[in-house]
Structure 1
């Protein structure tokens, strides 16, 4: 992982690097005294959120609403996607009586992007089940503004675009000055951290103070060059083969919530075919790709006694009628193997970042449904990071609404300075080294 980080940061190897290490234009972390009234968008999966955020120092007021992105739009055109987003913004603003206001907007867009400015992010590739035509290679802020213009009935201007890792980092750094890493463990997985500019050969802007920039690692693509093939299993290969992006995001497919349930299903179905579970009798749901949800893994592993209440309920939801107590134990064991591997892989990536930074004490902001809801993920990560980084004091800190609050904090700093320089736009943020 460290080798791939260095390849992504080096000018010579960056074009072919699997882990892209994109430099964001966020150069510093917040002071904690930011003030303002903002809209924020959060797009990183099938759920899309619109938020109204009022910052007043450490006091934050937030209203939000979740809108679904239908499958037909996820695989449609970019125009359809951004028209749908603009429609959601309109509905939210109307509901919250904001149509008469012109609010700066921060956009958390959690897909691999090449950042060319605070408000200029070029989508390099879709992930997490999205495949909208006409978006890859384009500036997503321009596409959003075009959709807003087509409507003509809302007044918003996107002044900053970030991904959810940066949002998590910025949100936690608002209250913890030692926060220097942001990690997402949800539908997908990614990480960012604060890097010294001297190590970022791909940085083509000024190198004035501050001498730092947040790097969006895009570590989900680790292994796409084959470096992890020796530890990938037949189940990983099946998940990859039937995904929307075969051969890509291999590390992510071994960790994240979009794939964990399917890995468990494949193992259980193989055991069933060999008459080792469920008396050899399955169900239509168990044999259907994607039907074993990742939330089932968390629910099954939450059973704390031999009553297996949650596990039995999951079996019933899957239409499984022939099972013994021993089958409940086997299912729980399979879930624990898949989730432990995911947590250890995520911990290894985190440890690589901590080694790369070389700090003695770091707070790591973590967000995402997998980390939030799995009963053991946090403890497993802490255990393995401690083993891999024995000389680093670290804390895993749950980021509360980083995708919304973090976007608002960056938007606040971008909109409070009229300079066209991306670095100057962030001038009123402060980083404590």
Structure 2
């Protein structure tokens, strides 16, 4: 049992963190961000602001002899009006790359959201503490992956032995951008989102710019990708543009070109993989907008557009896939490092029978594993876009 005097408090600094593009100093400590300050300043969407502050893929990376540690954080819990309560966010502990524990932090702020109106209210709450004990003796590398779906302010780190930043692992850096599926919605934990699983299988360092509801071809997101060091880049485009009913076919094509042009300004020769949406039956041939359905106390989503509106340029997933394939084929004539992957190779019609999307849109934990394994097989294999 450790007493207060046993603990060493280590300042929380940028060199202890991986996967964040920016750190904001708050009254409590540090808030990791997955979009830089310049991008956040240009954003006027509360959903995107919430998503980018949820630290999917962000982790503390330490080298230490400590056998016990405490991390004080201030989480922000979400409550959706009319929906069942959400579980607390999960922290994953890795020791020398292997799973070694899992925990949650209670308390924190409460953000109440009414999905039918968009109204939201924040109630402040207390800081909580995550504890891990009984860690192996001797020098080791420790990673604490922060909850992928819970905004987390880092307040204090205490250990029973000194810590230092983990050394650079020297692996290739994979930057991935996508929607809530890439963000990790309904995954079991931060290391079991499909991008985190694929990164482990591919032996790469992950920067996850999966942004729930926010993969909307925003120019500031393209500039964030452009300006972030990366060896491998993938962009999973389409589902949010459809379910937000954001644009018509006339605007979608040029927006994709512009997004890719901006990325190429900073990464002219890096392997760049464009991934179309996984199967999502509600939107395959029915346009958005998407709406929540709380029938029987379960959260499900329904597409509210009219399939006939495709004739006037409304987007569906099949329309999006055709356009993305056409664009990549056109651009690849002058870009040998540009690739396309049909998202239905990650999760398609045959998979939906045994692993249906529980709410009609988001994969569950088993499906995250399936998608991560398939992405690793397709992208990191000898003939894949990210082959070593």
- Please classify the TM superposition score into its range, dividing by the shorter chain length: 0.3 to 0.5
Specify which structure has the higher proportion of helix. Answer: 1
Specify which structure has the higher proportion of strand. Answer: 2
Instruction: Select the structure of larger CA radius of gyration.
Output: 1
Instruction: State the TM-score, normalizing by the size of structure 1.
Output: 0.31
Larger RCO of the pair (alpha carbons < 8 Å, separation 6+): 1
Instruction: State the TM-score, normalizing by the size of structure 2.
Output: 0.33
